[in-house]
Amino acid sequence: MEENRPNMPLLGDPFPDIRVQTTHGPMRIPGDLKGDWFVLFSHPADFTPVCTTEFVAFQKRYGEFRELGCRLIGMSVDQVFSHIKWIEWIKSELDVDIEFPIIAANDSMAMKLGMLHPGKGTNTVRAVFVVDSRGIVRLIMYYPQEVGRNMDEIVRAVRALRVSDEQGAVPAGWPNNELIGDRIIVPPAGTVEDARKRLREYECFDWWFCHKPLEK
């Protein structure tokens, strides 16, 4: 029983090296994506209503992800011919051209990434992995089959991660936080002297909660 449990990578782990067959041909992930961020997301099955709405929503934001230097990759345990037929249907019936590759995973690969739930049969759950340009897992979202994802939040999360790497932590709802808008949080002081300086150098609610302008 223990052998069949998912063993998904954790935040800060290298994304597992996998060789996959996709609608764009064979790929090695993360090797073939070196230098780019990527979002790998799994869906329960092709030709299902919720998954169709998700693929359309991801494609509608494809340009936003590319502007962030981020690739999109879909994945389920359906075979490649099913993926191809499904995206042909989306194009012909919904007039949306799916530009990103879709992986045809096997059960062991999906289990390796924690995308198969033992209590949900063979369908992959709605997992999202955000991986940086070094191949490190930076964010994981895990949804039940019954709930479609919010793609604006995934775009926001990628943008927030990229900004936080360069400038510092970002607040809740960034860039539209109720207290400080799109400003960046200054790391808390580590000494008494630093705490005094914070109040002189930055805008602060208190020395442990200071913020600075976002660098455009």
The C-alpha atoms of residue 75 and residue 97 are separated, in whole angstroms, by 17
Choose the catalytic residue: 51, 70, 204, 210: 51
195, 207 contact by CB (below 8 A): yes
CA angle 68-74-122, nearest 5°?
Answer: 150
The CA–CA distances, whole Å, from 26 to 70, 80, 104 equal 19, 11, 10
Sign of CA dihedral 182, 136, 44, 26: positive
Beta strands in the chain (DSSP E): 18-22, 25-29, 37-42, 70-76, 102-104, 126-131, 137-143, 184-186, 203-206, 209-212
Sign of CA dihedral 162, 166, 170, 173: negative
Contacts of 43 (CB under 8 A, 6+ apart): 51, 54, 55, 74, 75, 76, 124, 126
Residues in the chain, overall count: 216
51 counts as catalytic: yes
44 DSSP assignment: S
Any idea which residues carry the catalytic annotation?
Answer: 51
